[in-house]
């Protein structure tokens, strides 16, 4: 065996294995199994005990048996649909081996006449005679069969036999890795080594043995490696020296005095942290986390003003054009008139775009708002000092790192996210950043009242809408996307628009992704100016949009959304001082679990709490759509059941950071578990 003493074997591709050809490899590749290491995490689901060998007179129909028999006679009917049959016997009775779709030559080879072979398979009965149809195992050597065989959830095209062979081969050749954990940690897992843990993991007697030491050790390896990678990135970014920003607090105080509210304590704290980072000599890489409506925008704009004040440029990136424009308008309102800020919009004509590009290049423009378009190649900043990114919780660690690199060393970075995550996950999701949290909502806010209703009761909802309109309120009416067909995304919204427009003529607006930007904006403006009182929309309004006068939101087909998404949508209302209402419509009666989830929403307006509860109910995998986000999915570790391990890992990372412990010995761990290029420049 090559490379017996290190991890290269585990990272090599599957053709290293005997018995894995191009076909098997490509099947596994489709399942994201690219190397030997990846295969280790596909765990046996159950097993078949073929160790008990039986005699023909002891067989039980429907069970799997392993028996030694002697083939006596071939019956090859050569008629379509009739199987080939081999009459066999032992000293106690007769049994047939039946083959569908097998060639005669193959059958003659595996079942030579008058020689004893061992066969294994499920026993059935046909014309009062025992038979085994397509036996799973046939061999002259009974020791090959008389074992406990793992059942893996197999991929089409790979048989249990082949799969077991592959796994056995890997386990036999596992390299001995130097232990990366210290004694104190190891003791917690009864000193299980990585090697023995992996072997135990594939031992059929250990299936679902989640609480055992070997399992917890492997889970801990995963958690620690994910935390370590993030911590190293954070350290690395911290080491980047930059020109510190210098500003006075005069424009900042002026801006605040223009607001008709006071900043909350958490907003002030966040600002203090950000300002400190901006004026420090090392690069800022910070996350501003706060529930929907907690007031992150104003914090980011004030800090942007400070950066402009210190003679650097600022780029503000939003996920949608609507949102970019809204932030831009707010900045125009708040910033001193002499600040040159622009919106780079898909709608701007070539001339305007050229002017903006020119202005950014020669520093005539101090701040630009836009979608990811502001990071196109042709856009060159003269002196970019600050990037603010709104609502990009779907950015993974890698994307953030790229962005940070792109801005250059003098560029501070602030990410804002309204997606609260359970505490145990903070380190694995945002461990590469410093985090400021706004927990406190502006004081005048009332809790949003949340109700669920069957769609068949739509009339009560319409009546409620009518009443709300009379009281001077505005209403969001959200229709879900039709997932099956991207083209039809907006259909349900259009239909709803038509029916509501009949009830409330000229008072209803319609918004969906197919509407041109220019028109979109007109519609939003009409809603803002209260020409429209009802806005029918797809989830396009989910992120960030701020309409303080809208305080009813009706969400159709609510079971299409996850809890956190519903919470986000609901957060579009209740931003003013009036009582807000959210009505969740359902097509049919809710299941017990769905009811539990809806109750979480009804009982809480706290996004952090909702995410914790949601995680407990649904498990981590589906949480908040993090699945598609490039954020690490754990193979064994589970933030709910292994909470203690997450806490332990966080403690260990803090220690490593504080005492500056050399992480070289974790190199194999990181190489294996992360397999990422960022590690290469770390260890």
Binding site for ligand ADP (CB under 6 A): 261, 263-264, 267, 290, 292-298, 418, 442, 544, 546, 548, 575
Nearer to ligand ADP, 548 or 625 (CB): 548
* C-alpha to C-alpha distances, 601 to 312, 451, 550, 575, nearest whole angstrom: 43, 9, 20, 18
Shortest separation between residue 425's beta carbon and Mg ion, angstroms: 21
Question: Residue 322 in contact with residue 521, Cβ under 8 Å?
Answer: yes
Residue number with the smallest Cβ distance to Mg ion: 544
Query: Is 175 or 548 the residue whose CB approaches ligand ADP more closely?
Result: 548
Stretch that binds Mg ion, among 41-49, 162-170, 251-259, 537-545 (CB under 5 A): 537-545
Q: Which residue has the tokens 């305080």?
A: 551
CA 512 to chain centroid: 25
Query: Residues near 135 by Cβ (< 8 Å), separated by ≥ 6?
Result: 97, 119, 120, 121
Token pair recorded at residue 275? 């300002």
Interacting span for Mg ion (CB under 5 A) from 7-15, 101-109, 536-544, 556-564: 536-544
Yes or no: say if 46 and 151 are a contact pair by the CB < 8 Å rule: yes
Out of ligand ADP, Mg ion, none, which partner does residue 564 contact, by CB within 5 to 8 A per kind? Answer: none
**Closest CB 147 distance from ligand ADP, rounded Å:** 59
**In the complex, which residue's CB is closest to ligand ADP?**
295
CA quadruple 470, 471, 472, 477: dihedral sign: negative
* Smallest distance, ligand ADP to C-beta of residue 359, A: 27
Shorter beta-carbon distance to ligand ADP: residue 293 or 370 = 293
Q: Which residues pair with 287 in a beta bridge?
A: 415, 435
Residue 479 sits at the vertex; the CA angle it makes with 475 and 484, to the nearest 5 degrees, is 170
**Shortest Cβ 298–Mg ion spacing (Å):** 10
390 vs 432 by CB, closer to Mg ion: 390
Alpha-carbon distance of 291 to 438, in angstroms, equals: 7
Min dist CB 555 to ligand ADP, Å, is 18
Q: Which is nearer to ligand ADP, 319 or 385 (CB)?
A: 319
CA distance 94 to 74: 14
Smallest gap, in angstroms, from Cβ of residue 297 to Mg ion?
A: 5
- Measured between alpha carbons, how far is 245 from 358 in angstroms, rounded to an integer? 24
CA distance linking residue 358 with residue 382, whole number of Å: 10
Alpha-carbon distance values, 203 to 164, 171, 195, 306, 670 (Å): 11, 10, 13, 61, 25
- Closest approach of Mg ion to the CB of residue 296, in Å: 5
Of residues 110 and 448, the one with the C-beta less far from ligand ADP: 448
Q: Name the helix (H) or strand (E) containing 129.
A: strand 129-133
Residue 11 or 298 with smaller CB distance to ligand ADP: 298
**Which of the ranges 222-230, 477-485, 542-550, 605-613 carries the binding residues for Mg ion, by CB under 5 A?**
542-550
Helical axes 250-258 vs 296-309, angle rounded to 10°: 150
Nearer to Mg ion among residue 321 and residue 613 (C-beta) = 321
* 217 vs 327, beta carbon nearer ligand ADP: 327
If contact means CB under 5 to 8 A according to the sort of partner, which of ligand ADP, Mg ion, none does residue 475 touch? none
Q: Which does 539 bind (CB under 5 to 8 A by kind): Mg ion, ligand ADP, none?
A: none
Report the first-to-last Cα separation within the chain, whole angstroms: 27
Cβ-based nearer residue to ligand ADP, 294 or 424: 294
Report d(CA 73, CA 129) in Å as an integer.
Answer: 15
294 binds, options Mg ion, ligand ADP, none, Cβ within 5 to 8 A by partner type: ligand ADP
The CA-atom distances, in angstroms, between 176 and each of 1, 124, 373, 528, 668 are 12, 46, 49, 66, 11
Q: Number of residues interacting with Mg ion: please give it, by CB under 5 A.
A: 1
Shortest Å, Cβ 588 to ligand ADP: 32
- Minimum CB separation of residue 291 from Mg ion in Å reads 10
Q: Is the dihedral of CA 495, 501, 506, 509 positive or negative?
A: negative
The item of ligand ADP, Mg ion, none sharing an interface with residue 490, based on CB under 5 to 8 Å by kind, is: none
Question: Which among Mg ion, ligand ADP, none contacts residue 359 (Cβ within 5 to 8 A by kind)?
Answer: none
State the chain's maximal CA–CA distance in angstroms: 102
**Does the protein bind Mg ion through residue 544 (CB under 5 A)?**
yes
C-alpha Rg value of the chain to the nearest Å? 32
Shortest spacing between CB 318 and ligand ADP, in angstroms: 10
Between 263 and 475, CB nearer to ligand ADP: 263
Partner that binds at residue 305, options ligand ADP, Mg ion, none, CB closer than 5 to 8 Å by kind: none
Rounded CA-CA distance 68/65 in Å is 10
Partner in contact with 426, chosen from ligand ADP, Mg ion, none, beta carbon below 5 to 8 Å by kind? none
Q: Measured between alpha carbons, how far is 418 from 322 in angstroms, rounded to an integer?
A: 17
Helices (H), 188-212: 194-201
Q: What angle do CA 553, 598, 589 make, to 5 degrees?
A: 95
Cβ distance to Mg ion smaller for residue 83 or 544: 544
What is the closest distance, in whole angstroms, from the C-beta atom of residue 266 to Mg ion in the complex?
A: 15
Sign of the torsion angle spanned by Cα atoms 359, 362, 363, 368:
positive
Nearest to 369 by CA among 436, 313, 418, 324: 324
**Is the CB of residue 413 less than 8 Å from the CB of residue 403?**
yes
175 binds, among Mg ion, ligand ADP, none (CB under 5 to 8 A by kind): none
Nearer to ligand ADP among residue 14 and residue 263 (C-beta): 263
Per DSSP bridges, beta strands 550-555 and 474-478 are parallel
Q: How far is the CB of 313 from ligand ADP (least distance, A)?
A: 22
Residue 181 CB, nearest distance to ligand ADP (Å)?
41
Which residues contribute to the site for Mg ion (CB under 5 A)?
Answer: 544
């Amino acid at each position: 065996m090559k490379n017996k003493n290190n991890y290269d074997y585990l990272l090599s591709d599957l053709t290293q294995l005997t018995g894995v050809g191009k076909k098997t490899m490509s099947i596994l590749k489709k399942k994201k199994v690219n190397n030997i290491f990846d295969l280790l995490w596909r765990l046996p689901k159950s097993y078949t005990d073929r160790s008990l060998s039986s005699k023909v007179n002891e067989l039980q129909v429907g069970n799997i048996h392993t028996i030694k028999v002697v083939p006596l006679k071939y019956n090859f009917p050569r008629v379509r649909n009739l199987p080939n049959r081999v009459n066999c016997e032992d000293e106690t009775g007769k049994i047939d081996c039946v083959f569908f779709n097998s060639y005669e030559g193959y059958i003659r080879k595996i079942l030579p006449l008058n020689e004893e072979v061992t066969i294994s398979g499920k026993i059935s009965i046909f014309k009062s005679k025992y038979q085994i149809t397509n036996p799973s195992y046939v061999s002259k050597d009974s020791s090959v069969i008389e074992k406990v065989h793992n059942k893996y959830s197999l991929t089409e095209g790979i048989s249990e036999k082949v799969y077991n062979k592959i796994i056995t081969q890997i386990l036999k050749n596992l390299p001995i890795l130097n232990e990366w954990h210290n004694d104190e940690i190891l003791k917690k897992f009864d000193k299980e080594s990585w090697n023995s843990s992996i072997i135990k993991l594939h031992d059929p007697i250990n299936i679902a043995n989640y609480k055992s030491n070997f399992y917890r050790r492997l889970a801990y390896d995963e958690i620690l490696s994910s935390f370590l990678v993030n911590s190293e990135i954070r350290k690395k970014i911290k080491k980047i020296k930059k020109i510190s920003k210098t500003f006075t607090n005069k424009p900042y105080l002026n801006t605040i005095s223009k607001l008709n509210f006071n900043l909350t304590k958490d907003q002030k704290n966040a600002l203090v942290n950000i300002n400190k980072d901006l004026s420090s000599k090392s690069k800022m890489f910070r996350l501003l986390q706060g529930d929907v409506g907690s007031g992150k925008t104003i914090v980011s704009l004030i800090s942007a003003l400070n950066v402009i004040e210190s003679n650097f440029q600022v780029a503000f990136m939003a996920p949608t054009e609507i949102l970019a424009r809204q932030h831009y308008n707010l900045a125009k309102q708040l910033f001193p008139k002499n600040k040159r800020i622009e919106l780079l919009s898909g709608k701007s004509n070539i001339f305007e775009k050229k002017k903006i590009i020119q202005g950014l290049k020669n520093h005539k423009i101090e701040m630009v708002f836009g979608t990811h378009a502001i990071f196109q190649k042709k856009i060159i900043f003269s002196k970019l000092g600050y990037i603010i990114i709104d609502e990009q919780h779907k950015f993974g660690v890698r994307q953030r790192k790229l962005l940070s690199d792109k801005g250059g060393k003098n560029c501070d970075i602030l990410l804002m996210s309204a997606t609260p995550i359970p505490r145990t996950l903070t380190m694995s999701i945002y461990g590469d950043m410093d985090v400021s949290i706004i927990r406190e909502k502006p004081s005048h806010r009332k809790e949003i009242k949340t109700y669920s209703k069957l769609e068949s009761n739509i009339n009560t909802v319409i009546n409620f809408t009518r009443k709300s309109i009379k009281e001077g309120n505005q209403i969001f009416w959200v229709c879900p996307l039709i997932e099956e067909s991207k083209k039809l995304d907006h259909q349900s919204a259009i239909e709803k628009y038509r029916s509501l427009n009949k009830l409330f003529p000229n008072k209803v607006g319609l918004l969906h992704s197919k509407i041109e930007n220019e028109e979109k904006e007109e519609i939003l403006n009409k809603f803002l100016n209260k020409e429209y009182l009802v806005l029918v929309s797809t989830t396009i309004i989910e992120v960030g949009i701020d309409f303080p006068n809208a305080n009813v939101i009706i969400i159709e087909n609510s079971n299409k959304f996850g809890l956190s998404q519903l919470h986000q949508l609901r957060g579009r209302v209740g931003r003013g001082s009036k009582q807000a209402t959210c009505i969740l419509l359902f097509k049919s009666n809710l299941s017990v679990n769905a009811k539990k989830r809806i109750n979480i929403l009804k009982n809480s307006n706290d996004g952090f709490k909702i995410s914790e509860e949601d995680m407990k109910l649904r498990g981590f995998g589906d949480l908040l759509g993090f699945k598609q986000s490039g954020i690490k999915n754990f193979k064994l570790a589970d933030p709910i059941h292994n909470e203690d391990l997450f806490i332990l890992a966080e403690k260990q990372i803090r220690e490593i950071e504080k005492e500056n412990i050399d992480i070289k010995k974790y190199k194999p761990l990181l190489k294996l578990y992360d397999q990422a290029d960022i590690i290469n420049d770390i260890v």
